[in-house]
Chain A
């Protein structure tokens, strides 16, 4: 009786794991039991089950059950040979390892940076459902009522919160007071959206009362060093708060690095016009952001529309929108995960840049490539030395495959050593790297699982990249020729030349970028701004002076060296909000200029130039309803004579234009000068006391420190409870170019590294070429060649390579830098000499390196070289 066969999987499995020695008897017994069973299904099931039961340590195949014992032994031998070769050729190994280590260290640091940049905010639970609500294309702030209304009107929104921040505030605890950064206010839903671990307090109720405040662990420690901060009171900018929660500190990789969150007052119910909050919403699982955007548009029509119409006098909002299609500033959602890299302007913390991440990665890859090229060049150039070894191995029966493995093992050993040194280099240079990137990495960040993984991947990639080509070439040697003592030069000389050119191209590209970036930064810094910000002191928190400003001003002017004093709501190069004005003469137009409040003396402090009309006059009462605009605003208005024209804020707030200022840069030079409006500042103006947020003064003195001390004393007399905080406008201006300067530093650093590695390689290659040509040089010398002609002979080859690399490098640099400069409104033009500098620099360096090495050979006594043989 023939039954069906036992399950194939069970047999296969048994054969896979079971030692051959036991396999037959076990299979036999299983077959016997199988045949005994009556029902086929049962038999098959039993067979499988029993086979599984044999999965015991005793029967499992061990290492000695594999046939490739010899492979292991050979790899041991390869390792031994690799280490011996390294020791025998110390200088070459050193150059290779140093180059690779620098390249790998750069890669490692940059990997760490990229991993960090991409990790922003991903620690919040459900972060993929958290969105930031922005206004139109550029508005980061949104109306206070938005969060509550979204929760009520939009079914897709699970919870929404409004947040303000981050500011510096004055803390008072007992008789201690200090300025505290990282201040935010939130509402009862803040910690529902951003779920955070509470050490004390209840996340659901912590911000329910208007005097509640949640501190981070570290701030709680700072405020109440030896006691529990819960339920203690703190006075912040004059308001008393009670601590109702303590949370763990937010990690470094967040766009919202708060130190505390205070509860805020309920917003006014029809407050839709002012954009003063950040709004965040957590959506219901599975809801579509596009759909939410549509619903948000409806919301905009319903709530914001009526307010806009109060300026324009249209009968319906639809009509208004039809006539002003470009005025739509509706709400839209942006994923919080995108804030750091894609929408850094929405961030409250460190800002990322997507382009920087890409550029950093490319530079890291370039440097690594240069180092790999060194390895390839040196390995193939010196392959002749190994040819006897390869010949003997082949004669003894090595396959080509074995020899390839041997040389790969060798490159892996070198890479491994480089990785170890790279770890040390990265650890040592981490502070410098932090300065370059503006982040705070620690040595621990080098040993996270993700960086360790990237180290492993780097090890394999670099080992293969550097090792495969030389291994392939060297393994192709003919054993007959090798053993007969015929020198075999592996690899084509032309390939080596191209690789060296490639190195030069990368170096030249990096130097060109460095030069141009620095030129651009210097250019921007030396621009005529149209406004005089030299020696202009800006005292912050002027609003704290209150009505005492006049007294303060008079006394300030008495200090020797202080020439003019004024108050202003926004100093140039700080953030300026844009407000909407309605052009009365031209019924359907609104303009949103940057809006600044100031007084008459600002003209003297900032050296403002008038094109037409006049500046404010403190003695004319009517100037409270007068405004001064800049040329760019006047152009946008388009009137022949803007003087006397009226701009309206709605609700009867009308302003007459009394003067036009010459355009000056008040924001970044990356942008064109945009419309600007100056309004007269007093405490009854729309901004209240914030109109005097800054007190600015022209200070002209030889002893700046003493003058500053006197000003500080004066401040402390008038505002004893608020610390003095002042800076020079020049510094604000310079700070704007911080990111460009960092960018320049990055390029400088990496071009120096790239050049260093490339020239290490060049040095080694020159040495080798000279060794090979030592007889040729000697013969030439005997026949009458001069030292200089011999040097020229050596230089000619390398000069050709530099020029070839220069053409490629400059071509790419030209294209890329032109793109980069397009991002700047005030920019330099690329000129031929900017791009020629790098080529000349590299050429000179090459000549120096090659001549240094060659000179010795050129002046040597030819008989030394020729007497052998």
Chain B
């Protein structure tokens, strides 16, 4: 019944989990790097930004501007963190995937 509000795209799901992993340290480039490190997938920075914005609009993450530094051409970072709705979404996704996985007949996987 609440499925609808938890609907996430594949990349959205991935980025949401990465933000959760990075805890207080998630911003554009870092998320991109983490995706590369964790699962070896190359994502363009603009795509990462777009997905983060979309997640924020769906209230799964929240953001604030970080402190200024001389790095990054003097530009501040936007730091993202997972909201409670976001946690629930991760929970939900994890649960449904597990349920579905458990329902796959063992034979279907075993002889592949």
Contacts and interface: CB of A to CB of B under 8 A. Distances in A.
A32 interface: yes
Contacts of A56: 46, 50
A26 B27 CA distance: 10
Interface string A49-72: 010011010100000000000000
A175 interface: no
Interface residues of A, number: 18
A29 B76 CA distance: 9
Shortest 9 CB-CB distances between A and B: which pairs?
A28-B75, A31-B73, A53-B46, A29-B28, A25-B78, A28-B72, A31-B72, A54-B46, A29-B29
27 contacts: A22-B49, A25-B65, A25-B78, A26-B28, A26-B49, A27-B73, A28-B72, A28-B73, A29-B28, A29-B29, A30-B45, A31-B71, A31-B72, A32-B71, A32-B72, A33-B29, A33-B45, A35-B71, A35-B72, A50-B44, A50-B46, A53-B44, A53-B46, A53-B47, A54-B46, A54-B49, A58-B53
Contacts of A35: 71-72
A25 B28 contact: yes
Interface range on chain B (Cβ under 8 Å from partner): 10 to 19
* Interface of chain B, main secondary structure: helix
Identify whether the interface residues of A are mostly helix, strand, loop, or mixed.
helix
A725 interface: no
Given A24-B76, A53-B44, A29 B49 contact: yes
B54 to A, nearest CB: 9
A29 B27 contact: yes
Interface in B45-93: 45-47, 49-50, 53, 65, 71-73, 75-78
A58 B50 contact: yes
Contacts of B29: 29, 32-33
Interface of A: 6, 22, 24-33, 35, 50, 53-54, 56, 58
A33 B49 CA distance: 14
A29 B75 CA distance: 8
A31 B53 CA distance: 20
Contacts of A54: 46, 49
A691 to B, nearest CB: 90
Nearest to B52: A25
A29 B72 CA distance: 7
B89 to A, nearest CB: 21
Contacts of B77: 25, 28
A24 B73 CA distance: 10
Contacts of B46: 50, 53-54, 56
B50 A27 contact: no
Contacts of B47: 53
Interface in B4-45: 27-29, 44-45
A855 to B, nearest CB: 76
Nearest to A11: B73
A504 to B, nearest CB: 69
Nearest to B54: A58
Contacts of B71: 31-32, 35
A31 B76 CA distance: 11
Contacts of A25: 27-28, 49, 65, 75-78
A25 B45 CA distance: 11
Contact of B75 (A31, A50, A53, A58): A31
A28 B74 CA distance: 7
Contacts of B45: 29-30, 33, 50, 53
Among B27, B29, B46, B50, the most chain A Cβ lie within 10 Å of the Cβ of B46
B10 to A, nearest CB: 19
